[in-house]
């Protein structure tokens, strides 16, 4: 890779305040980093318009395969319950539920997976429940993530603040850090309130929707837990509740490739985001989100068009990583270095190109 680490331009040497309610957000606004103009590569408006065309067909096909795999693995888990054969069945079920739901949540939240709006909304809310992410608040949170990507004090979805919490990253291979925080937020919502950070980006008029969704989520989870207790069996919660935990590992593997160890407070997605080549199975599970630079620059391009978009703009992109192993050869040393020196980050080499005017 033509990638090296920054050792001279240390932007900060102490732990920053990543909260949306802290001082960093105001400083970002002062520095012109809020809702700012970002770099865009030179692609014609006509070609971009073609790539932005939404279609129901690819997402219907992929969603039917996804639900089919979930149903088959779930049935095999039930059929072989009490034997070792149930283990691989639930491993597959868990990955489909706790990991692959993440990309479905993501694309349907953008409204680009399907052409038909209600299809996006149905799959989005199903996936939100699978991940225990209250869908209303997270839709606004993710909008902010795209508007102010990795801008400290503005982006709630900075997965690896500096210095990195290595223990927390390892715990989140099974969402053991994320889910307790999510459950705490859902409980707050259930009592008719938004969390302090949610109140920063969720319109007051939408708060009741978030509160209602949180109550539905917790009611369903509690129902399956009560069922498991009543029949003295783990089986019900192997289908709802626990797969959010035991199936989360692949989601974490994918997600860390997106931004971990890269630059903060820059207005060029090529400097804070990675594109990683993946095989066909991973691309199906991840819904082409491995083309993550391209997705961030043009978030209205549907997932099925991202490989073509990648080819169109590749000349202006940093070299993509050859695979997950290639990406992690950079990520792991970068995070360990940031533990010692929080201001240090991965610095990408960019081709010299002239950007298209907005």
Q: Which of 88-97, 148-157, 346-355 has the lowest mean pLDDT?
A: 346-355
What are the extents of the domains in the chain?
Answer: 1-51+256-358, 55-147+176-247
Give dist(CA 30, CA 172) in Å, integer: 34
Give the pLDDT mean for 105-116. Answer: 96
Average pLDDT over residues 80-94: 97
Give residue for tokens 């692959």: 100
* CA gap 97, 273 in Å, rounded: 25
> How much is the average pLDDT of 341-349?
95
Integer CA distances (angstroms), 246 to 234, 239, 252, 276, 312, in order: 13, 11, 12, 25, 38
pLDDT tens, residue by residue, 309-334: 999 999 999 999 999 999 999 999 99
- Return d(Cα 258, Cα 93) in angstroms, integer: 24
Q: What is the pLDDT of residues 135-155, one digit of tens each?
A: 898 898 899 999 999 999 999
Dihedral sign, Cα of residue 18, residue 131, residue 278, residue 141: negative
What are 154-158's contacts with CB under 8 Å, separation 24+? 154/20, 154/24, 154/25, 154/28, 154/33, 154/34, 156/20, 156/197, 156/201, 158/18, 158/259, 158/264
- Looking at residue 354, its pLDDT comes to 52
pTM assigned to the model: 0.91
pLDDT band at residue 15, thresholds of 50, 70 and 90? confident
Question: What is the arithmetic mean of pLDDT over 186-208?
Answer: 91
Please report which confidence band the pLDDT of residue 4 belongs to, taking 50, 70 and 90 as the band edges. very low
DSSP state of 267: S
pLDDT of residue 201: 86
pLDDT band for position 48 (cuts 50, 70, 90)? very high
Pair of tokens at residue 232: 């003295």
Average pLDDT, the chain: 93
At 13 the pLDDT is: 57
* Digit-coded pLDDT (tens) for 214-271: 999 999 999 999 999 999 999 999 999 999 999 999 999 999 999 999 999 999 999 9
Using the predicted structure, report yes or no on whether residue 132 has a pLDDT greater than 60. yes
């Amino acid at each position: 890779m033509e990638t090296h680490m920054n050792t001279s331009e240390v932007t900060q040497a102490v732990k920053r305040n990543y909260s949306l309610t802290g001082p960093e957000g105001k400083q970002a606004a002062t520095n012109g980093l809020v809702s700012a103009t970002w770099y865009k590569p030179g692609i014609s408006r006509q070609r971009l318009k073609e790539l932005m065309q939404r279609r129901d067909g690819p997402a219907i096909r992929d969603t039917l395969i996804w639900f089919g795999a979930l149903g088959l693995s779930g049935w095999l888990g039930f059929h072989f319950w009490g034997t070792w054969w149930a283990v691989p069945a639930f491993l597959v079920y868990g990955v489909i539920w706790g990991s692959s739901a993440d990309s479905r949540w993501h694309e349907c939240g953008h409204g680009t997976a399907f052409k038909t709006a209600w299809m996006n909304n149905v799959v989005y809310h199903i996936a939100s429940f699978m991940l225990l992410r209250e869908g209303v608040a997270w839709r606004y949170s993710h909008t902010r993530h795209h508007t102010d990507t990795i801008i400290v004090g503005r982006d709630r979805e900075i997965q690896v603040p500096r210095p990195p919490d290595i223990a927390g990253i390892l715990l989140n291979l099974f969402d053991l850090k994320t889910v307790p925080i999510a459950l705490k937020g859902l409980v707050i919502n259930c009592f008719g309130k938004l969390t302090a950070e949610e109140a920063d980006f969720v319109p007051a008029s939408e708060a009741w929707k978030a509160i209602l969704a949180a109550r539905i989520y917790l009611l369903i989870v509690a129902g399956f837990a009560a069922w498991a207790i009543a029949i003295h069996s783990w089986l019900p919660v192997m289908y709802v509740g626990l797969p959010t935990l035991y199936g989360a590992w692949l989601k974490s593997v994918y997600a860390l490739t997106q931004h971990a160890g890269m630059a903060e407070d820059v207005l060029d997605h090529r400097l804070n985001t990675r594109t990683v080549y993946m095989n066909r199975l991973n691309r199906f599970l991840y819904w082409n989100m491995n083309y993550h630079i391209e997705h961030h620059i043009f978030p209205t391009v549907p997932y099925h068009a991202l490989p073509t978009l990648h080819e169109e703009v590749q000349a202006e992109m940093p070299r993509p990583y050859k695979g997950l192993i290639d990406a992690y050869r950079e990520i792991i040393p970068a995070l360990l270095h940031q533990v010692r020196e929080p201001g240090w980050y991965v610095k990408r080499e960019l081709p010299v190109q002239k950007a298209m005017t907005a």
